[in-house]
């Protein structure tokens, strides 16, 4: 049986949740609730299943957000 490759799309221009999200800090990186330890992206990464049958995730993002993604990883 072949492994599954999880793909996470992390993009957007940050307009729907303005003023919290901006083009350089879109909603997937915001911690919306008090005491929330991770952003939406971090929570999605945390929900990935264990290594059995799954490869490391492929994460697609805007080049401008690569440092924010690295922090979440």
What pLDDT does residue 47 have? Answer: 84
What pLDDT does residue 1 have? Answer: 54
What pLDDT does residue 48 have? Answer: 84
pTM of the model: 0.71
Map out the domains of the chain as residue ranges: 7-72
What pLDDT does residue 56 have? Answer: 86
User: Please, are residues 44 and 8 in contact by the beta-carbon 8 Å criterion?
Assistant: yes
User: Exposure string (b/e) for 1-19, b if CB count within 10 Å is 16 or more?
Assistant: eeeeebeeebebebeeeee
Q: What is the mean pLDDT of each run of 10 residues along the chain (73 residues)?
A: 82 70 74 76 83 84 85 80
């Amino acid at each position: 049986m072949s492994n599954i490759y999880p793909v996470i799309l992390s993009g957007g221009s940050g307009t729907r949740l303005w003023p919290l999200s901006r083009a350089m800090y879109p909603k997937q990186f915001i911690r919306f609730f008090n005491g929330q330890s991770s952003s939406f992206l971090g929570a999605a990464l945390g929900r990935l299943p264990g290594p059995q049958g799954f490869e490391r995730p492929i994460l697609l993002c805007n080049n401008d957000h690569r440092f924010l993604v690295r922090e979440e990883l």
